[in-house]
Amino acid sequence: MAAKIVMLLSASISFVLGLVHLVYTFWEPLLTPRDPTLQIRMSEIAPVLTNETTMWRCWMGFNVSHSMGLILFGLVFGYLALAHDQLLFRSPFLLAVGFAMLVGIVVLCKVYFFSSPLTGMSLSLACYIVSIALSRVPLLRS
């Protein structure tokens, strides 16, 4: 039971951070440049890859897809923890995929973001690791 709760906490942190990021992308000016002329320029300039989009549209898409990934992780691993904990905790594949995802996001936060997402995602990763450890302790399994 403890492993389920801690895994659910890990998934919930990812889900909430993804949801907050999505809100910040569309409904808050927090992910827009401080210099309004930069946003204008980003809306006018295409990336080298294609002329079919602009850097601003890419920026928005990257932010939305990042949010969707965190939300999906939270929903899938939260659901598995609640409804199929035996499947989750007995599957090396699922546990490895979840671990790789969270480690990747923590590294991304460290390299490209700032302290708040790094702290939140590090906490999610720590909960994930603790939940796996708890699932391996015979007296705490339920």
Q: How far apart are CA 52 and CA 67, in angstroms?
A: 23
Average pLDDT over residues 68-96: 97
Q: How far apart are CA 14 and CA 136, in angstroms?
A: 23
Binned at pLDDT 50, 70 and 90, residue 133 comes out as very high
Reduced to 3 states (helix: H, G, I; strand: E, B; else coil), residue 137 is coil
Q: Which tens digits make up the pLDDT trace of 2-60?
A: 999 999 999 999 999 999 999 999 998 899 999 999 999 999 999 999 999 999 999 99
Q: Which helix (H) or strand (E) holds 87?
A: helix 85-90
CB atoms within 10 A of CB 23: 12
Residue 138 has pLDDT above 80, yes or no: no
Q: Which tens digits make up the pLDDT trace of 79-89?
A: 999 999 999 99
Q: How far apart are CA 91 and CA 108, in angstroms?
A: 26
- For residue 67, the one-letter residue type is S
pTM of the model: 0.91
Residue 141 has pLDDT above 60, yes or no: no
Reduced to 3 states (helix: H, G, I; strand: E, B; else coil), residue 54 is coil
